[in-house]
């Protein structure tokens, strides 16, 4: 009874602050877009290698995204308290979400597998800088340790783990017929696709949980040392799972065959490698990009066959997008903050 009463009091407080409601709604829209924007990360290789039909792959990814979103809050705490060192108004959080949504839609429309995570983080940094009119509001040590270092390290790790695992599979299966090998790994790929989707939920859904928690803290709805409320975890899990069920076909085409041609053993190696890296980073609270990791793992798998098996021109375009996401998202977040201040504050 006490828990129910506290929940009702919490929602009454939120209802009395319209801007917080706006932040929660826009955050869930972002989470929905994150789901369909990053669906390809989990299922593209499985669909491309025909281990799963598109419909079954999307249902599997949606379910595992939902489960993954509920199991941890390490990354959410990094977002809500590890990047911004000043109290910011709810409209700044709203502007950060709008900036990230704009960049996600642009890259989705172009079919480029960019990072929703770094779009959100970059937009939050830009919004904070414009609001405080200085660089002092950002915890730059936290940005370096929790964002920039993992941003650079995780794709390299994904590449080399994918390369090494694919080489091991080649060695172990060298005396087997291609049909038998492909049949075995087509089954294993169902499990690896589920694990990638679970990891995606574990890491990516938590960014939005952190943003909503940040808005609730800045609006004095929650104390500064509060964890992520259960209802926030549930609604974010539902949003990302729903978005995943829509699918991201443009990006799926790039991920499935635009970087390198994959067979079931390669699809399994890429997904298993990505899962290991994502879960490891999630345990230490690093909000990495699942997009970066799975894409680099696919490149590593292709390189294990031969370097020319990777379409390095397409890979170069993808890496360029990775590099520009943080600064462009920061500019968009800052611009949204400026416009809101100009028009409404």
**Torsion from C-alpha of 285, 248, 291, 205, nearest 10 degrees:** 0
pLDDT band (50, 70, 90) for residue 263: confident
pLDDT tens figures, 123-137: 999 999 999 999 888
Measured CA to CA, the distance from residue 268 to residue 166 in angstroms comes to 9
pLDDT band (50, 70, 90) for residue 251: low
- Do the Cβ atoms of 83 and 293 come closer than 8 Å? no
pLDDT tens figures, 18-28: 678 888 889 89
What pairs with residue 285 in β-bridges?
Answer: none
DSSP string, 216-228: HHHTTSS-TT---
Highest mean pLDDT, choosing among 100-104, 115-119, 229-233, 307-311: 100-104
pLDDT for 218 beyond 70: yes
| Spatial CA neighbour of 141 closest among 132, 149, 133 | 149
For residues 122-159, one letter each, b for 16 or more C-beta atoms within 10 angstroms of the residue's C-beta and e for the rest, the string is: bbbbbbbbbbbeeeebbbeebbebbbeebbeebbebbb
Measured CA to CA, the distance from residue 22 to residue 62 in angstroms comes to 25
pTM: 0.80
> What length is written for the chain?
345
109 or 159, higher pLDDT: 159
**Torsion from C-alpha of 298, 303, 307, 309, nearest 10 degrees:** -50
| Spatial CA neighbour of 30 closest among 127, 106, 100, 114 | 100
| Spatial CA neighbour of 135 closest among 182, 194, 86 | 86
pLDDT tens figures, 135-192: 888 888 888 887 888 888 888 999 999 999 999 999 999 888 888 898 999 889 889 8
pLDDT at 78: 76
Measured CA to CA, the distance from residue 259 to residue 145 in angstroms comes to 30
CB-facing half-sphere around the CA of 44: CA atoms within 13 A: 29
pLDDT at 12: 58
pLDDT at 45: 74
């Amino acid at each position: 009874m006490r828990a129910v009463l506290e929940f009702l009091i919490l929602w009454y407080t939120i209802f009395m602050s319209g801007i917080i409601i706006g932040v929660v709604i826009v955050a869930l829209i972002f989470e929905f877009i994150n789901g369909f924007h990053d669906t390809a990360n989990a299922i593209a290789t499985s669909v491309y290698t025909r281990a799963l039909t598109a419909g079954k792959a999307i249902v599997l990814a949606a379910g595992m995204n939902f489960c993954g979103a509920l199991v941890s809050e390490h990354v959410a705490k990094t977002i809500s308290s590890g990047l911004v060192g000043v109290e910011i108004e709810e409209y700044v959080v709203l502007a950060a979400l709008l900036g990230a949504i704009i960049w996600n839609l642009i890259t989705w429309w172009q079919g480029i597998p960019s990072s929703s995570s770094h779009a959100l983080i970059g937009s939050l940094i830009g919004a904070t800088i414009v609001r405080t009119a200085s660089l002092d509001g950002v915890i730059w040590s936290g940005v370096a340790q929790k964002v920039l270092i993992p941003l650079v390290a995780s794709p390299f790790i994904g590449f080399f783990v994918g390369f090494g695992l694919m080489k091991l599979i080649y060695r172990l299966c060298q005396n087997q017929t291609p049909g038998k090998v492909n049949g075995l790994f087509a089954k294993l790929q169902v499990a690896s696709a589920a694990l990638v989707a679970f990891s995606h939920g574990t890491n990516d859904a938590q960014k939005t949980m952190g943003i909503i928690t940040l808005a609730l803290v800045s609006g004095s709805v929650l104390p500064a040392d509060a964890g992520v409320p259960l209802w926030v975890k549930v609604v974010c899990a539902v949003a990302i799972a729903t978005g995943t069920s829509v699918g991201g076909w443009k990006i799926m085409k790039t991920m499935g065959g635009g970087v390198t041609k994959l067979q079931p053993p390669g699809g399994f190696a890429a997904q298993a490698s990505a899962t290991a890296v994502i879960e490891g980073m999630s345990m230490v609270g690093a909000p990495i990009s699942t997009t970066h990791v799975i894409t680099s793992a696919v490149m590593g798998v292709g390189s294990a066959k031969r370097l020319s098996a990777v379409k390095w021109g397409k890979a170069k375009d993808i890496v360029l997008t990775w590099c520009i996401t943080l600064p462009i998202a920061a500019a968009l977040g800052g611009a949204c903050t400026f416009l809101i201040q100009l028009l409404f504050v």
